[in-house]
Amino acid sequence: MQNFNSRVFMNGNSQAIRIPQELRLDTKRVSIRKNEHGDLVIHPLPDIEKSRGDALLKVVQGFDDDFVEILEKNRLEDNPIQEREAL
């Protein structure tokens, strides 16, 4: 396992670490913890927006053609304006 040296610097009121290109993370969020030896351990977190999008696509792909046809038909129909009490 190769070791890399890097710089610690201040970014506003936060301390930051420059991550070398060889260790670049393909994520926008990470989980950081300090282990019993005082080492910082960084774990990439899944991209929530991408995960939600993937979950939505899985659900939509499970719709049968008849259901999709009904949804499309209902979308094209004019819905009457609902009478509601004033606030």
pLDDT in tens, 63-74: 888 888 888 888
21 assigned to some structural domain = yes
85 assigned to some structural domain = no
Q: Which domain holds residue 41?
A: 8-45
35 assigned to some structural domain = yes
Instruction: Name the strand (E) or helix (H) holding 42.
Output: strand 40-44
1-51: pLDDT as tens digits: 799 999 999 999 999 999 999 999 988 889 999 999 999 999 998 877 677
29 assigned to some structural domain = yes
41 assigned to some structural domain = yes
16 assigned to some structural domain = yes
32 assigned to some structural domain = yes
- What is the rounded CA–CA span in Å between residue 46 and residue 29? 7
18 assigned to some structural domain = yes
Contact (CB, 8 A) for 33 and 40: yes
